[in-house]
């Protein structure tokens, strides 16, 4: 495969190239809490009700924004406004002019490395369907 992410801008990517950039770390699907005064965002270990923990993907990707109110579709125009995205996110890295990490599947050729190296939420997150909403603040944690 050609290294399209090195030769094209995010604006120039085809839909399939855009989608292929996602490493399925799942961190953008975690429930996040925002401090009303500072605006600071904290990640929790609780993941969206639509997230499939066994195959690290969204159960309703196509209709995700209709099903989950605060789910957003990333694109080349809005990516820079989501500064809460994790620092490992491929879209954020490329939007900031940074390279993809060596473990990224497009670089390494191994889609499991993101999980094997502990970059993803696999085996660490719990679904919001199993958590009392009042307990969510107690699940704040730092992710790699």
Closest contact distance (angstroms) between CB of 37 and ligand SF4 is: 25
The bridge status of strand 51-52 relative to strand 41-47 is: unpaired
From the CB of residue 62, how many other CB atoms can be counted at a distance below 10 Å? 8
Task: Give residues in contact with ligand SF4 (CB under 6 A).
Answer: 22-29, 48, 50-51, 58, 64, 67-68, 71, 74, 85-86, 89-91
* CB nearer to ligand SF4: pick between 11 and 37: 11
Q: How far is CA 64 from CA 15, 88, 132, 136, 144, in A?
A: 17, 22, 22, 22, 26
* CB nearer to ligand SF4: pick between 23 and 122: 23
Contact 2, 8 (CB under 8 A): no
* CB nearer to ligand SF4: pick between 37 and 142: 142
Closest contact distance (angstroms) between CB of 13 and ligand SF4 is: 14
């Amino acid at each position: 495969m050609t290294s399209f992410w090195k030769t094209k801008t995010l604006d120039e990517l085809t839909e399939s190239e855009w989608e292929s950039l996602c490493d399925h770390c799942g961190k953008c699907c975690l429930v996040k809490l925002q401090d009303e005064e500072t605006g600071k965002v904290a990640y929790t270990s609780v993941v969206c009700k639509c997230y499939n923990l066994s195959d690290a993907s969204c159960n309703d990707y196509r209709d995700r924004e209709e099903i989950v109110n605060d789910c957003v579709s990333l694109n080349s125009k809005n990516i820079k406004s989501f500064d809460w995205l994790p620092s490992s996110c491929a879209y954020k890295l490329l939007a900031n002019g940074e390279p993809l990490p060596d473990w990224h599947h497009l670089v390494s050729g191994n889609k499991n490395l993101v999980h094997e190296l502990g970059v993803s939420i696999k085996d660490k997150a719990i679904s919001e369907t199993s958590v009392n909403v009042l307990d969510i603040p107690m699940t704040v944690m730092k992710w790699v």
